[in-house]
């Protein structure tokens, strides 16, 4: 896809207000610090609510500061925070600031915040934390009633930053447990390099990497856990221009580096194959859904800020943009990922796999009646129905020699249960190997193919 290709361009975010009263920063400090204190009571090793062994305690220091908000005194609440591995630099430093506050070390928190604001001047949340701590250091009560004259833009900006802070802190307690994978990944070939899974409710992108040596069984593990922004109107895209991010199983189709893009897209873009076959079957419209970076004047976007794309910080998009084999990587975008033990994945796909093997056996054996039964009456490809494509399907059936690199990725929502299948296929001896993609849907209790074509 060229940079000039149709794309639902993300609108530039509104500029943050230049003149914000110190009293407003102080009020936001209350919300941010209260969020940190509340999350400090939750599990912090990433087991998503599982009971934890007792953590090593840290002696609490007397809180050296407090804020009076409408007569309620809010002070720092000491808590033990166990920093997880894999945090990227900016997020890690934000958590360090909260840790210092919880331990009552205001001076250390202020030093850390000042360093963060200096090093990353375009990171709004970092600048906010620094302004918070400067405001708190005056030890002046904060009167929320005085904020009624604040502009709508400032209020919206505050709300977005509070939400970003909450999501980043919640990521401490909601890291997938070791040895688990999203249950969408039914089958993947041993030569898989990586998979991307996105949980829009948590504003997180999970980068899963195969750490097995060549020739060894697949060993997919979580390597990166990154903050993301999605559409300004949320998710479940339906029509072009609705400002929503699509949900489903997609593939990265190309790479667009920053030299070929406006500054709006940051350090690079990875286009997705939206609309996919299921989207087309459902009549969804639009195009140009990408994973991309942020404008140079910003570090990250608010949680809901794009016109439908998935937006990462520039360091984060750069960290995956240059990975070998990134084109062709599977991307699952879900409102909520379900992580299961790795050993459970074969069981989840057993029923479908039996149906796929039946299709393959009928194809190789030339049983055309049974083969036809595996194709849906809603089958389409390039705007043509099954009647148009059936002669081609029959011709391939008697020529099938071998399939390899089989992957099966599940998608389920309130309307359908679908499996996207990719494989390499050789139709005749010494023929070239072609990559194929199928979409299967559960129709009245039976799996049927409603799309089949080149990947």
CATH of the domain at 428: 3.10.450.50
Which of the listed residues 342, 360, 392 is the one where a domain comes to its end?
Answer: 342
Of 291, 316, 342, the residue that ends a domain is 342
Q: Which residue among 133, 150, 167 closes a domain?
A: 150
CB 245 within 8 A of CB 310: yes
Spatial CA neighbour of 20 closest among 160, 135, 126: 135
Distance CA 101, CA 386 (A): 64
Give the integer Cα–Cα distance in Å for 314 and 296.
Answer: 8
Q: Identify the pLDDT of residue 132.
A: 66
Select from 206, 219, 215, 210 the least CA-distant residue to 179. Answer: 219
Residue 423, strand partner residues: 436
Asked if 281 and 376 sit in the same domain, the reply is no
Q: What is the pLDDT of residue 221?
A: 94
φ, ψ for residue 269, nearest 5 deg? -140, 145
Q: Domain of 94?
A: 22-150
Tell me, what's the pLDDT at 105? 79
Tell me if 1 is assigned to some domain.
Answer: no
Q: What tokens were used for 178?
A: 């070791």
Residues 316 and 193 in one domain: yes
Residue 6: inside a domain? no
pLDDT of residue 5: 46
Q: Are residues 288 and 262 in the same domain?
A: yes
pLDDT for position 117: 82
Quote the pLDDT of residue 50.
33
Q: Are residues 214 and 239 in the same domain?
A: yes
Count the neighbouring beta carbons within 10 Å of the beta carbon of residue 351. Answer: 10
Instruction: Classify residue 4: in a domain, yes or no.
Output: no
Q: In this structure, is residue 171 part of a structural domain? A: no
In a domain, 162, yes or no: no
Each residue's pLDDT expressed in tens, for the chain with a length of 455 residues: 444 444 655 655 444 444 444 444 444 554 555 544 444 433 333 333 333 334 344 444 433 333 222 222 223 333 323 334 444 478 778 778 877 776 777 788 888 888 888 888 888 777 777 776 766 665 543 343 443 444 455 556 777 877 887 887 787 777 899 999 999 999 999 999 999 999 999 999 999 999 999 889 999 999 999 999 999 999 999 999 999 999 999 999 999 998 888 998 999 999 999 999 999 999 999 999 999 999 988 888 889 999 999 999 999 999 999 899 999 999 999 999 999 999 998 888 899 999 999 999 999 888 999 999 999 999 999 999 999 999 999 988 888 788 999 999 999 999 999 999 999 999 888 888 999 999 999 999 999 999 999 99
- Render the burial of 219-235: b for 16+ CB within 10 Å, e for the rest: ebebbbbbbbbbbbeeb
In this structure, the answer to whether residues 288 and 261 fall within a common structural domain is yes
The rounded Cα 106 to chain-centroid distance in angstroms is 34
Residue 157 within a domain? no
Task: Determine, yes or no, domain membership for 298.
Answer: yes
Owner of token pair 């990171």:
123
CA distance 381 to 225: 36
Q: Are 324 and 210 in contact (CB under 8 A)?
A: no
β-sheet bridge partners, residue 208? 195, 222
Q: Specify whether the CB–CB gap between 272 and 255 falls below 8 A.
A: no
Same-domain pairing of 79 and 217: no
Q: Tell which phi-psi region holds residue 451, choosing left (phi > 0), alpha (psi between -120 and 50) or beta.
A: beta
What is the tally of structural domains in the chain? 3
Please list the helix, strand and coil fractions of the chain in percent, rounded to the nearest 5, in that order: 30, 25, 45
The CATH number covering residue 280 comes to 2.40.440.10
- Give the gyration radius of the chain's Cα atoms: 25
The length of the chain is 455
What is the spatial distance between Cα 139 and Cα 439, in angstroms, rounded to a whole number?
Answer: 62
Please tell me whether residues 402 and 337 are part of one structural domain.
Answer: no
- Asked whether residue 356 falls in the same domain as residue 380, the answer is yes
Residue 43, both tokens: 């599990």
What is the model's pTM?
0.77
**CA distances (Å), 212 to each of 215, 217, 218, in order?**
8, 7, 6
User: Same domain, yes or no, for 73 and 212?
Assistant: no
**Residues whose CB is less than 8 angstroms from the CB of residue 301 and which lie 6 or more positions away in sequence, other chains included:** 13, 229, 294, 311
Give the span between the Cα atoms of 6 and 147, in whole angstroms: 43
Let me know whether 219 and 314 are in one domain: yes
Nearest to 225 by CA among 306, 160, 316, 295: 316
Task: Find the helix or strand (DSSP H, E) in which 352 lies.
Answer: helix 350-365
pLDDT, residue 420, reads: 98
Answer yes or no: is 362 within a domain.
Answer: yes
- 320 and 450 together in one domain: no
- Residues 261 and 288 occupy one common structural domain: yes
């Amino acid at each position: 896809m060229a940079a000039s290709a149709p794309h639902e361009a993300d609108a530039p975010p509104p500029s943050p207000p230049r003149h914000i009263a110190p009293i407003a920063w102080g009020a936001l400090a209350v919300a941010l610090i209260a969020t940190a204190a509340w999350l400090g009571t939750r599990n912090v090793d990433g087991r998503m609510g599982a009971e934890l062994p007792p953590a090593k305690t840290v002696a609490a220091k007397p809180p050296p500061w407090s804020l009076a908000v409408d007569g309620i005194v809010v002070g720092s609440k000491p808590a033990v925070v166990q920093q997880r591995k894999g945090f990227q630099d900016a997020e890690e430093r934000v958590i360090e600031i909260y840790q210092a506050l919880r331990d009552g070390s205001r001076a250390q928190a202020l030093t850390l915040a000042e360093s963060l604001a200096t090093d990353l001047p375009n990171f709004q949340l970092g600048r906010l934390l620094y302004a918070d701590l400067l405001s708190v250091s005056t030890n002046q009560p904060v009167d929320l009633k005085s904020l009624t004259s604040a502009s709508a833009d400032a209020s919206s900006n505050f709300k977005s930053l509070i939400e970003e802070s909450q999501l980043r802190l919640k990521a401490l307690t909601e890291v997938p447990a070791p040895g688990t994978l999203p249950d969408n990944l039914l089958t993947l070939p041993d030569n898989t390099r990586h998979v991307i899974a996105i949980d829009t409710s948590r504003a997180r992108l999970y980068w899963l990497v195969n750490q097995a040596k060549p020739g060894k069984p697949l060993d997919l593990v979580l390597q990166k856990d990154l903050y993301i922004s999605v559409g300004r109107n949320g998710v479940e895209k339906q029509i072009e221009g609705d400002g929503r991010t699509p949900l489903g199983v997609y593939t990265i189709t190309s790479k667009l580096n920053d030299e070929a893009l406006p500054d709006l897209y940051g350090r690079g873009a990875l286009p997705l194959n939206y609309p996919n076959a299921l989207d087309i079957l459902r009549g969804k419209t639009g195009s140009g859904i990408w994973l991309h970076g942020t404008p140079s004047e910003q570090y990250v976007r608010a949680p809901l800020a794009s016109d439908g794309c998935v937006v990462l910080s520039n360091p984060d998009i750069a960290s995956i943009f240059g990975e070998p084999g990134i084109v062709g990587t599977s991307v699952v975008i879900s409102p909520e990922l379900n992580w299961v033990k790795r050993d459970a994945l074969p069981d989840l796909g057993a029923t479908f796999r039996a149906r796929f093997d039946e299709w393959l056996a009928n194809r190789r054996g030339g049983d055309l009646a049974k083969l036809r039964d595996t194709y849906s009456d809603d089958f389409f490809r390039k705007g043509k129905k099954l009647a148009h494509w059936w002669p081609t399907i029959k011709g391939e059936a008697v020529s099938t020699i071998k399939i390899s690199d089989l992957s099966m990725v599940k998608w389920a929502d309130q309307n359908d249960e679908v499996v996207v299948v990719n494989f390499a296929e050789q139709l005749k001896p010494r023929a070239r190997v072609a990559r194929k993609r199928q979409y299967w849907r559960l129709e009245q209790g039976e799996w049927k193919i409603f799309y089949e074509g080149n990947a």
